[in-house]
Structure 1
Amino acid sequence: MPFSELIGYLAATLTTCSFVPQAWHTFRTRDVSGISLGMYSVFTAGVALWLAYGLALGAWPIVIANAITLMLASAILGMKLLYGARRGG
C-alpha cells in the first residue's frame, strides 16, 4: 500500500471516529439541545457529496470514511429532528 493511501486511511479513521462519541452521547441522553440543525443538515449533505466524489474517483479511503460518517451524521441529524421536535427545539 502506498504511503499516501496509508495516510488517507489513517485520516479517514480519525475523522470518522470523532463522530462516535457525539452519536453515542445523543443516543444515550436524547439531549440534542447543543446540536445545530442547520449545521448538521449542511454537513450531512456535504458528506453525501464527498461519498459520491470518492465513488467517482474509486478512492476507497474517501468512500469508506464518508459512508460511515454519513451513517453517523444521519443518525445524529435524525435524533435532532426526532428528539428536538419532542422538546420543542
Structure 2
Amino acid sequence: MSLEWIGALAATCTTLSFVPQAVKTIRSRDTRGISLLMYATFTFGIACWFGYGLVLHSWPMIVSNAVTFVLSATILALKLKHG
C-alpha cells in the first residue's frame, strides 16, 4: 500500500498555508517586515526539496515545492527590488 497520499496531504497543507502571506506581499509590495536572509535561505531550501522530489519521483514533493518556489522567489525578488 502506497502512503504517497500522506505526502500529498502534507504538501497541500504546507503550500496552501504559505499562499495567503505570499498573495498579501505580492499585492502590497510591502517587504519591510521580511528578512532577506530568511527568504534567500528558504527559497534555496525549497529548490533543494524540489530537486529531491525529482530524484525520488515524488509528485507531491515536486508539485508543492514548485508552487512554493515560485511564490517564495517572487517575494524574494520583491524584497530585492523594494527592500
Output the CA distance in 1 between the equivalents of 2:28 and 2:67.
Answer: 22
SS at match of 1:25: helix
- Distance, in Å, in 1 between the alignment partners of 2:38 and 2:7 is 25
* SS of equivalent residue, structure 2 residue 34: coil
Structure 2 residue runs of 5 or longer lacking an equivalent are: none
What 5-or-longer segments of structure 1 have no aligned partner? 85-89
Match in the other structure for 1:55:
54
What TM-score do you get using the length of structure 2 for normalisation? 0.92
Shift >2 Å, 4+ stretches: none
The 2-side partners of 1:73 and 1:52 are apart by 16
Distance 1:43 1:35 in 2: 12
Map 1:30-49; keep pairs closer than 5 Å: 30-49=29-48
Provide the alpha-carbon RMSD of the alignment.
1.2
The corresponding residue for 2:6 is: 7
> Of the two, which has the highest radius of gyration?
1
| Residue of structure 2 in register with 1:26 after alignment | 25
**Secondary structure, in 3 states, of the residue corresponding to 1:65?**
helix
